[in-house]
Amino acid sequence: MERGNQTGIRNFLLLGFTEDPDLQPLLFGLFLSMYLVTFTGNLAIILAVISDSHLHNPMYFFLSNLSFADICFTSTTIPKMLWNIQKQSQVITYAGCLSQVYFFILFACLDNLLLTVMAYDRFVAICHPLHYMVIMSPRVCGLLALGSWCLSVTASMPETLTILRLSFCRSMKIPQSFCDLPEILKLACSDTLINHTVVYFVTIILAAFPLSGILFSYYQSSSSILRMSSVRSKYKAFSTCGSHFSVVSLFYGTGLGVYLSSAVTSSSRTSLVASVMYTTVTPMLNPFIYSLRSRDMKGALVRLISRAPSLIHRAFRRLS
């Protein structure tokens, strides 16, 4: 095959699900609906946390950050997918592909770190309730959130920048609906040892270590809960952890599914479906999990919806 370095590359091709024109409108409607549900649900959580004083605590502060990260995570891939379906095109530029890789890794890492911080928050609340407000002070919460953002921004750079050193074959077809880093590395004609080393290193630091921290936090929290004498206290403690544990299971479960599907099977369709579950379905379900399992969040969302007409009316009056 002919080779070309990064300066000669113009475009990648995102093969997506199908080239059948009869199925394109169905796919467009499906992913547009999922994106709107994801965007609206996570935005509602952010607005509820901002506007409701009952939710001004560390747990919901981190939840609002997670919701914002999920909006950005899905916005990295789905709008371009919808644009390509609408234009009946598979093209994404080299610069656009690199940008998509960078932001995809950034917000995936940020999700990892925020879920870890949220697990630590529940650990402190259950195991050290008397010192909770001191340990999880507003300053500490701000530093934890800022540190998660800074670490994600920094850690996503090496994986993206090392792509610049690669030479690619002329067949620039990616069997995904977005620029997936492992698929890009498969297209390279040059040695990818450095790239894979960086990927494994970042994965260990920002996926394996956070997951270990989450599991340790839940082990300690579960042990403390089981030692409680009151059944009501046990139920309340488990219910506060239930939402977060569901989101963690969904996030890491689908992420592990993506890895296993690409490692075990050569079927691009299986890997594509697993990637959609990870990048689209998980961020879409997170608002439902938290709103259904949290009484405070349900109440805040009801109050937000009830105030929405008056807020919209005031906004239009100011504009006019």
Q: Give the model confidence (pLDDT) of 19-50 as tens digits.
A: 667 778 888 899 999 999 999 999 999 998 98
Span 12-224 CATH architecture: Up-down Bundle (1.20)
Residue linked to tokens 């961020």 = 283
Of residues 170 and 36, more confidence is placed in 36
Q: Which structure tokens are listed for 276?
A: 């959609």
Q: Assign 175 to helix, strand or coil.
A: coil
Kindly tell me if the per-residue pLDDT of 138 is higher than 90.
yes
3-state class percentages of the chain: helix first, strand second, coil last, to nearest 5: 80, 5, 15
Is residue 290 within 8 Å of 46, Cβ to Cβ?
no
Contact 111, 145 (CB under 8 A): no
Is 80 exceeded by the pLDDT of residue 141? yes
Pick the closest to residue 277 from 74, 105, 109 (CA basis). 74
Pick the more confident residue, 185 or 235.
185
Quote the CA–CA distance of 45 and 247 in Å, as a whole number: 15
For residue 38, what pLDDT is reported? 93
Domain positions in the chain are: 12-224
Q: How confident is the model at residue 146, as a pLDDT? A: 96
Q: What is the pLDDT of residue 3?
A: 45
Is the pTM higher than 0.85? The answer reads: yes
Give the pLDDT score at 124.
92
Name which of 163, 66, 56 is nearest 110 in CA terms: 66
Could you tell me whether strands 11-14 and 91-93 are parallel, antiparallel, or unpaired per DSSP bridges?
A: antiparallel
Q: Hey, CA dihedral for 168, 75, 296, 292, is it positive or negative?
A: negative
List beta partners, residue 13: 91, 173
Taking 70 as the threshold, does the pLDDT of residue 278 lie above it? Answer: yes
What six digits make up the tokens of 85?
């379906």
Secondary structure element (H or E) that encloses residue 138, with its range: helix 138-161
